C-alpha cells in the first residue's frame, strides 16, 4: 500500500484520486473546496485540513490543479517544505513548460524526484482510469512514476526530461485545435458550394483530408454518432480548455522562437468563440461560428 497525497479534486482530480483509493492505496486528499473534500471522504479517502498536512507522510504527491501559478505556489509553500525528501512528486495539471521546468528544478535541488505528467482524455477517462499520461522526468525515475500512475492510466509514455510532458501535451492540442478548425472550414465551404455534408464526409474520410477531428469527432452532426455535435455540442472538451492550451502553445512558441502562424490563428478564433459566450460548449462548436450560426 502506498501513501498518496492527492491535491486538486476538481473535474479531473476527483475521479483520478478515487481510482488510487480503489486500487487499495491510502489516499490523503486536499482541495480548497469543502464539497470536493466531502466527496473524497465518501469515496474512501482521508480528507486533510491543509496541503501541508496532506503531504507530510506521503510516498507519492500528485497534483491536479488549474494552471502554472497554482502549481508553483503550492510546491513552494506546501509541498517542498513539508513532504518527506524521498517522496515522488508528480504534477498532472496542464501548465506552461517554463513553470514545469522551474518546479522540477526546485524539487531536484532539494533532493526530490519530480515529474510533469499531463494527461489526455477528459473526465470520462479520469473516472474510468483510462487516461494517457505524457511524462517528463529523469529516465531513472520513470519506473516508479509508471507504477504510481498505473491505477489512473490506459497508457503512460515518457516524453523525455522535465517539461517535455507539458511540451507533448501542448503540441498535441495545438495540432488538434488547428485540425478541428480546418475540418470545420471544409464543412462550411462544402455547404456553401452545395455539396451534401454526409457526401463530403464519405469522400474526405477516405481521401487525404482524413484526420481525427473528421472521423472520430466530426463537428457536423450525423456522420459520427458519438461526437458532441450530435448533442448540441454539450459535454466533450470545452472550447475554453482548448483556448487555455492554445495560449500555452503560443507562450511556448514565443519563448522558444518557433514559428506557429496557424497556432496563433487558432488561438484568435477560439478566443472569439469564448468571448461570444461559448466557452463551456464542446470545441467542435467552432463549425457553427464559421457558418455564421452563433
Ligand atoms: P477544476 O477547476 O475542475 O479542478 C481544479 C481543482 O483544484 C479545484 O477543485 C480547485 O478547488 C483546486 N485547487 C485550486 N488551487 C488549489 C490549491 N492551492 N490547493 C488545493 N486545491 C486547489 O479543473 P479540472 O478540469 O479538474 O482540470 C485540472 C487540470 O487538468 C487543468 O490543468 C486542466 O487543463 C487539465 N485537464 C483537464 C481536462 C478536462 O477535460 N477537464 C482534460 C485534460 C487535462
Whether 11 has a pLDDT exceeding 90, the answer reads: no
Tell me the chain's radius of gyration from C-alpha atoms. Answer: 20
Give the C-alpha separation, 90 to 148, whole Å. Answer: 9
Q: Output the pLDDT for position 124.
A: 85
In a shared domain, residues 69 and 173? no
Among 36, 64, 154, which is best to mutate for testing ligand 1, by the most ligand atoms less than 8 A from CB? Answer: 64
202-to-37, 199, 205, 218, 282 alpha-carbon distances in Å: 48, 5, 6, 12, 23
175: how many CB neighbours lie within 10 A of its CB?
A: 17
Domain count for the chain:
2
Q: Output the pLDDT for position 107.
A: 98
In a shared domain, residues 150 and 137? yes
- CB proximity list for 123: less than 8 A, separation 6 or greater: 11, 12, 15
Contact predicate 2/25, CB 8 Å: yes
Q: If you take atom 21 of ligand 1, which residue's CA is the nearest one?
A: 31
Annotated catalytic residue: which of 39, 150, 154, 169? 169
**pLDDT tens-digit map of 52-87:** 999 999 999 999 999 999 999 999 999 999 999 999
In a shared domain, residues 185 and 158? no
Out of 118, 145, 162, pick the residue that ends a domain. Answer: 162
In a shared domain, residues 132 and 231? no
Q: What percent of the chain has pLDDT over 70?
A: 100
Place of cell 516524453: 159
Give the C-alpha separation, 287 to 24, whole Å. Answer: 44
Contact predicate 12/33, CB 8 Å: no
DSSP 236: S
Mean pLDDT check: name the lowest of 122-131, 169-178, 240-249, 257-266. Answer: 122-131
Out of 146, 162, 178, pick the residue that ends a domain. Answer: 162
**pLDDT tens-digit map of 120-160:** 988 889 999 999 999 999 999 999 999 999 999 999 999 99
Give the C-alpha separation, 98 to 141, whole Å. Answer: 21
In a shared domain, residues 244 and 139? no
* pLDDT tier, 21 (very low <50, low <70, confident <90, very high otherwise): very high
In a shared domain, residues 117 and 212? no
Among 5, 6, 10, which is best to mutate for testing ligand 1, by the most ligand atoms less than 8 A from CB? Answer: 10
* pLDDT tier, 114 (very low <50, low <70, confident <90, very high otherwise): very high
In a shared domain, residues 179 and 237? yes
- Mean pLDDT to the nearest integer, 246-268: 97
Q: Output the pLDDT for position 122.
A: 83
User: For residue 92, how far is its CA from the centre of ligand 1 (angstroms)?
Assistant: 9
Domain of residue 151, residue span? 3-162
User: For residue 174, how far is its CA from the centre of ligand 1 (angstroms)?
Assistant: 20
**pLDDT tens-digit map of 222-237:** 999 999 999 999 988 9
CATH number at residue 200: 1.10.1040.10
Q: Output the pLDDT for position 30.
A: 98
Contact predicate 96/104, CB 8 Å: no
Nearest to 136 by CA among 102, 111, 110: 102
In a shared domain, residues 269 and 216? yes
In a shared domain, residues 20 and 154? yes
56 is catalytic: no
In a shared domain, residues 28 and 130? yes
DSSP string, 149-190: HGGGEEEEEEEESTTHHHHHHHHHHHHHHHHHHHHHHHHHHH
Pocket of ligand 1 (CB under 6 A): 7-13, 30-33, 36, 51, 64-66, 70, 74, 93-94, 119, 122-123, 237, 241, 244
Q: Output the pLDDT for position 121.
A: 86
Q: What is the SS3 assignment for 53-120?
A: HHHCCCCEEEECCCCHHHHHHHHHHHHHHHCCCCCEEEECCCCCHHHHHHHHHHHHHCCCEEEECCEE
Q: Output the pLDDT for position 5.
A: 98
Out of 162, 184, 219, pick the residue that ends a domain. Answer: 162
Mean predicted lDDT score pLDDT of the chain: 97
Nearest to 184 by CA among 203, 173, 202, 200: 200
Q: Output the pLDDT for position 205.
A: 98
Q: What percent of the chain has pLDDT over 90?
A: 97
**pLDDT tens-digit map of 81-110:** 999 999 999 999 999 999 999 999 999 999
In a shared domain, residues 155 and 171? no
Whether 4 has a pLDDT exceeding 90, the answer reads: yes
* pLDDT tier, 1 (very low <50, low <70, confident <90, very high otherwise): confident
Place of cell 481525427: 212
CATH number at residue 35: 3.40.50.720
Among 37, 54, 65, which is best to mutate for testing ligand 1, by the most ligand atoms less than 8 A from CB? Answer: 65
Give the C-alpha separation, 254 to 97, whole Å. Answer: 12
In a shared domain, residues 135 and 205? no
H-helix or E-strand spanning residue 27: strand 26-30
Compute the residue count for the chain: 294
Amino acid at each position: 500500500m502506498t501513501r498518496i497525497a492527492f491535491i486538486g479534486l476538481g473535474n479531473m482530480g476527483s475521479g483520478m484520486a478515487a481510482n488510487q483509493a480503489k486500487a487499495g492505496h491510502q489516499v490523503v486528499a486536499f482541495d480548497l473546496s469543502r464539497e470536493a473534500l466531502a466527496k473524497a471522504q465518501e469515496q474512501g479517502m482521508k480528507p486533510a485540513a491543509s496541503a501541508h498536512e496532506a503531504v507530510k507522510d506521503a510516498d507519492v504527491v500528485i497534483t491536479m490543479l488549474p494552471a502554472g501559478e497554482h502549481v508553483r505556489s503550492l510546491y513552494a509553500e506546501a509541498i517542498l517544505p513539508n513532504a518527506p525528501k524521498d517522496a515522488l512528486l508528480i504534477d498532472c495539471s496542464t501548465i506552461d513548460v517554463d513553470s514545469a521546468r522551474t518546479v522540477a528544478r526546485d524539487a531536484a535541488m532539494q533532493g526530490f524526484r519530480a515529474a510533469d505528467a499531463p494527461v489526455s482524455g477528459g473526465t470520462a477517462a479520469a473516472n474510468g482510469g483510462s487516461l494517457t499520461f505524457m511524462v517528463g522526468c529523469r529516465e531513472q525515475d520513470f519506473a516508479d512514476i509508471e507504477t504510481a500512475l498505473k491505477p489512473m492510466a490506459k497508457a503512460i509514455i515518457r516524453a523525455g526530461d522535465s517539461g517535455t510532458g507539458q511540451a507533448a501535451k501542448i503540441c498535441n492540442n495545438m495540432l488538434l485545435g488547428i485540425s478541428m478548425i480546418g475540418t470545420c472550414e471544409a464543412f462550411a465551404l462544402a455547404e456553401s458550394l452545395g455539396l451534401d455534408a454526409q457526401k463530403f464526409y464519405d469522400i474526405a474520410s477516405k481521401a487525404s483530408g482524413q484526420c481525427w477531428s473528421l472521423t472520430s469527432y466530426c463537428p457536423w452532426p450525423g456522420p459520427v454518432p458519438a461526437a458532441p455535435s450530435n448533442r448540441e455540442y454539450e459535454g466533450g472538451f470545452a472550447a475554453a480548455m482548448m483556448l487555455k492550451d492554445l495560449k500555452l502553445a503560443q507562450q511556448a512558441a514565443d519563448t522558444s522562437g518557433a514559428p506557429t502562424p496557424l497556432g496563433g490563428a487558432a488561438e484568435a478564433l477560439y478566443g472569439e468563440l469564448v468571448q461570444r459566450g461559448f466557452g463551456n460548449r464542446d470545441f467542435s462548436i467552432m463549425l457553427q461560428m464559421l457558418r455564421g450560426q452563433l
